Structure 1
Amino acid sequence: ATKIPFRLKKNEALLTFEDEEVAQRLIKMGEHTVDLDNKTADVRVKPVTLEMGVKFQLRVTISGKKINVSEVPDLSIPDDWMRDKLELNFYRSEQGGGGEVENVHYDKQSRAAVITFLTPGAANSFVRCTKYPFFANGRCYRLPVSQSIDVHLEKFQLYCGISKKTILLQGIKDPEDDEESVQDMIEIHFQKPTNGGGEVDEIKYSSGGTWVCFEE
């Protein structure tokens, strides 16, 4: 189900029914007289028009062949030499991970690199490793490493339309009772089959206006 925000204005109510036929029947009836604690209120039933929004899925893939390396030291050597040093360093399996390197993408400006191993799963040995030794110019640097994560946006959709199970009540005069009591009286009225109603799944009444979020 998609969670959809909706702006509820002053003295309005939203009712979501289990059966969409109930909601559609009440909308066709148009107006209802609701008993609010010895007072009657003539309310209008309107369809709920949803504002345009988006829904999508994120697919996250953790690479078994690539790792990200940051804080690469800024050495006074050509970029291809640095790539060679990185490849040689991460090829050394005795240091707790790595293997034969397929490719090294090095960006001097950001001091970062992406190491791609030839063997699938070689990057998994770095899951618990946050710092990895890097030897250059007679020094040992501890470089932050992490597995490469690819994020893909899928099933991107725009949605708008009219809710099938939810109705909007307008014209509720300022009642003297608190919101919860008014909400209960509205629910009792619209649960009765004699009033054209049915089983209410969700209800929200607001005396001052609010944002609500319901599932459609």
Structure 2
Amino acid sequence: MSAEDFRIVAEDESLSCQDSVLEIKKYKAHYEAIMKEQKILKDGIDNNNYYAKEFKQRAYEKKVSSEEENNKRSKTIQREKEKCRAVLEENTKLQNEIQKMREEMQRLDCKNSNLKKQTEISTAVPERKVVFRGNTQEGAHAVSFDVNPRIVYPMEGGTALITFEEKDVAQKILNLKDHSVQLGDCTITVQAKPIQFLVPSYVEMETQVCPRRILVSNLPKEEPEERVLDKLDIHFSRSRNGGGEVEDREMLHDSGTVVITFIDDKIAKGLSDKQDHDVEFGKKKHKVKVTPFLNGEISQMKICNSECTRTVLLTGIPDIMDKDNLQDNLEIHFQKSANGGGEVEGIIYNPLGHTALALFDEDSPPDNQSES
């Protein structure tokens, strides 16, 4: 190879090396651009991952918050529903109470109307003459009517009722229970037992004015009963006297009054409003008083057990002598203080095989107590 050829080859190699360097630099620059682009892409991916993570976290928190809010809203709605239900129930209850109150008011109005009718009359009780005898009693300001008790007690055979003047004596006899009574040559044993009754302790009555009856009082005492009834019948059956057709008339002997019943229920009120009526008895007139007749029924009654404090029941009495002698011997025995007895106020003996009805009246208060 000649020198010129070597030079050409060398120049070619030199040019080839320069091209390679340039190409390397080119690739290096391209690589660096790629690396820079990759870094930018990596940074973008990292940023996207970060924001994705933040988004997920915020989405989760938002979901939890939304669920909590929904739960709170559901609970609030449930509470409001319960309040509405309670209000509806309370409203229904109040409506029922209002209805009951209306019914009660109607009942009270009706009762008030009846009471008003009763207050318009002077009295429906037969007139009785009263007198003040100088006695007083605590609580006399309380107006009341007393009902005297009258109890009919059926006595068994072989028993006796004995009433002592002092209740302490009766209690002593009851405490001893068995008593040996000497009857001539023989002795009998009787048992002392208390007398108990079921008596009313509280009575409430509903009364109303009868539209067809009147009560006539202040009747002439000297006239026979049949004549009084006939004259009243004639007088009150006449329309000019404000009367009408009479259906029935009845004498109430315990009060000395007459009940007259009319066929028409519009007659009684006019007669009772006038009150005083002059009725002809032969050649003279007598002023009678007409008041409404009250019908009544017991609406409430309470009973309690009541024990006679001065009366003792004697049982187990054999029929060994006549009634009067046996009764006298019993009274003598229980009058003696040695036998635990005392002063006897009353005694009745009912032999075996016989029946008797004992009447118990109100026990009179002692003389040292004041009464009205």
Percent identity, aligned pairs only, is 27
Counterpart code for 1:191: Q
TM superposition shift of 1:33: 0.8
The structure 1 residue matched to 2:337, chosen from 184, 193, 197, is 193
Larger helix proportion of the pair: 2
1:113 is paired with a residue whose SS is coil
Counterpart code for 2:264: A
Structure 2: how far apart are the matches of 1:8 and 1:23?
Answer: 19
Counterpart code for 2:342: G
Counterpart for residue 357 of structure 2:
211
By relative contact order (CA 8 Å, sep 6+), the higher-ranking structure is 1
CA RMSD of aligned residues (A): 3.9
Counterpart code for 2:358: V
Counterpart for residue 169 of structure 1:
314
Counterpart code for 1:114: K
Distance 1:171 1:147, change over 3 A: closer
Whether the aligned pair in 1 keeps the contact of 2:212 and 2:263 (CA below 8 Å) is no
Structure 1: how far apart are the matches of 2:213 and 2:332?
Answer: 60
The structure 1 residue matched to 2:323, chosen from 179, 185, 188, is 179
Counterpart for residue 276 of structure 2:
124
Alignment of 1:73-152 (within 5 A): 95-96=240-241, 111-115=263-267, 116-117=269-270, 122-125=274-277, 128=279, 148-152=292-296
In structure 2, runs of 5+ residues without a counterpart are 1-147, 215-239, 244-261, 281-289, 364-372
Whether the aligned pair in 1 keeps the contact of 2:213 and 2:293 (CA below 8 Å) is no
1:44 is paired with a residue whose SS is strand
TM superposition shift of 1:159: 4.6
Counterpart code for 2:356: T
The alignment status of 1:18 with 2:18, answered yes or no, reads no
Counterpart for residue 183 of structure 2:
36
TM superposition shift of 1:172: 1.6
Whether the aligned pair in 1 keeps the contact of 2:272 and 2:291 (CA below 8 Å) is no
Whether the aligned pair in 1 keeps the contact of 2:163 and 2:344 (CA below 8 Å) is yes
TM superposition shift of 1:97: 5.9
Larger strand proportion of the pair: 1
Counterpart for residue 202 of structure 1:
346
In structure 1, runs of 5+ residues without a counterpart are 70-94, 99-109, 130-145
TM superposition shift of 1:187: 0.3
2:265 is paired with a residue whose SS is strand
Counterpart code for 2:343: E
Counterpart code for 1:169: L
Structure 1: how far apart are the matches of 2:279 and 2:212?
Answer: 12
2:160 is paired with a residue whose SS is strand
TM superposition shift of 1:123: 3.8
What TM-score do the two structures reach when normalised by structure 1? 0.58
1:112 is paired with a residue whose SS is coil
Question: How many residues were matched structurally?
Answer: 158
TM superposition shift of 1:44: 1.1
